[in-house]
Amino acid sequence: MENVPVNCTTLDIKAAYKEKLLKYHPDKNKNATNVGPYSIQQIKEAYEVLSNPDLRDKYQKELINTSKKIGFSNTGDGLDEFSLDDFILEENANDDEFSWYMDCPRCNSKNGFYLTEKILESQGEDISLDFNSQMYQIIVQCSMCSLWIKVNYAQQQEE
């Protein structure tokens, strides 16, 4: 049901259900040529799912997963945020440089995201909120699909 907040109560859902039924039911709405975009059956199905806590939870998880697969998220700006701690750390023995890998959450490409110390140092943006910590962020794309993510990390100070 539209215009019902994700965190609403069962009573809110019931009220929205009754409102939609009255608005779109052909016996209650005299404008028979255009009763709206929803059938009574769709409104009833939505109520059945949203009024049952287990079905509602399952539905919300499916929405989140579907949104991620098509490249949208609910973080406000369209990009999911990860920490460098979410990546797998690997040390390259040849040049003592570190690399980080992470499988893509959308296409499941193995090591779809790849970062090196050089990439972090040259492309990271300082997002520190105070002088006591040095926080950085980089925006990277999966090597196999069009998913972009934000990666947050702290840069260690050299002595």
Domain boundaries, the chain: 10-51, 80-154
- Assess whether pLDDT exceeds 80 at residue 30: no
Instruction: Give how far Cα 57 sits from Cα of 70, 98, 105, 122, 128, Å.
Output: 20, 40, 20, 42, 36
Residue 20 confidence (pLDDT): 85
Evaluate whether 37 touches 43 at the Cβ level (below 8 Å): no
Phi, psi of 52 (to 5 degrees): -100, 115
Please report, rounded to a whole number, the percentage of residues in the chain having pLDDT higher than 90: 29
Q: What is the pLDDT of residues 96-113, one digit of tens each?
A: 789 999 999 988 899 999
- Cα atoms in the Cβ-side hemisphere of radius 13 Å centred on 26: 6
- Given pLDDT bands bounded at 50, 70 and 90, which one contains residue 129? confident
The β-bridge partners of 98 are 91
- Given pLDDT bands bounded at 50, 70 and 90, which one contains residue 88? very high
Environment class of 30 (CB within 10 Å of its CB; exposed 0-12, middle 13-18, buried 19+): exposed
Three-state SS at 91: strand
Residue 152 confidence (pLDDT): 93
What is the separation of C-alpha 153 from the centre of its chain, rounded to a whole number of angstroms?
20
For 21-26, which contacts have Cβ atoms below 8 Å and span 24 or more sequence positions? none
Number of other CB atoms surrounding residue 124 within 10 Å: 19
AA letter at 100: W
